[in-house]
Amino acid sequence: MKRPNHQKKPWSPWLKAFFALILVGVLSFGGLFAAVMYGSYNHITGDPQVMVILGCRVMPGGEPSMLLQDRLETALDYLEEDPDILVVVSGGQGSNEPVSEAACMAGWLEERGISEDRIFQEDQSSNTKENLIFSKDLLAREGIDVGETDVLVVSNGFHLTRARMLAERFGYGEVSTLAAPSSHIPSRIQMYIREPLALVKSFLLDR
């Protein structure tokens, strides 16, 4: 009696290509995620003379969102330890924000003892690219060349790999980063998933 043939059918080329693309996607995302994680810690070199705090959402009542407050509290600790460093608060006013992110940040810092004379408000930007370009332009008008000045960029940790990449692209010289925690857990999870993709977008499009 002839035995049935149980030999498996070979995968079609299309199926192989499909799984190969999935594998490439997973490995690529893993590499990007590792880059985001590497940047999520403090990396301070040289002697920063200017701090740039990147903006985030302002709540309807005019108070900073949790992520923005994380950035401000981290920045405040550093500013109190180094009374000579100047600070740019960078962020415009969104359609759902009662004041600009820059004004919110400046007011928060001033209420906690940081002199108004140390704070420059950049209140026109709407994204990370504009944060860095407009802050650079503002400092240039004040006679400060970011290409020749050590700059410390402050944001939540997930944001800093992209911020450093763009700062270096737009002519900043010695760039250090100060990583704020992300106290709002849902936002932290969402951003660590989103940020690898945002890193690719900024690398390709933010010129």
pLDDT value of position 1: 55
Q: Residues 120-151: pLDDT tens digits? A: 999 999 999 999 999 999 999 999 999 999 99
DSSP characters for the chain?
Answer: -PPP--PPPPPPHHHHHHHHHHHHHHHHHHHHHHHHHHTTS-B--S---EEEEEP-PBPTTSPBPHHHHHHHHHHHHHHHH-TT-EEEEE----TT-SS-HHHHHHHHHHHTT--GGGEEEE----SHHHHHHHHHHHHHHTT--TTTS-EEEEEEGGGHHHHHHHHHHTT--SEEEEEE----HHHHHHHHHHHHHHHHHHHHH--
Q: Residues 53-71: pLDDT tens digits? A: 999 999 999 999 999 999 9
What stretches in the chain show pLDDT beneath 50?
none
Q: What is the pTM of this model?
A: 0.87
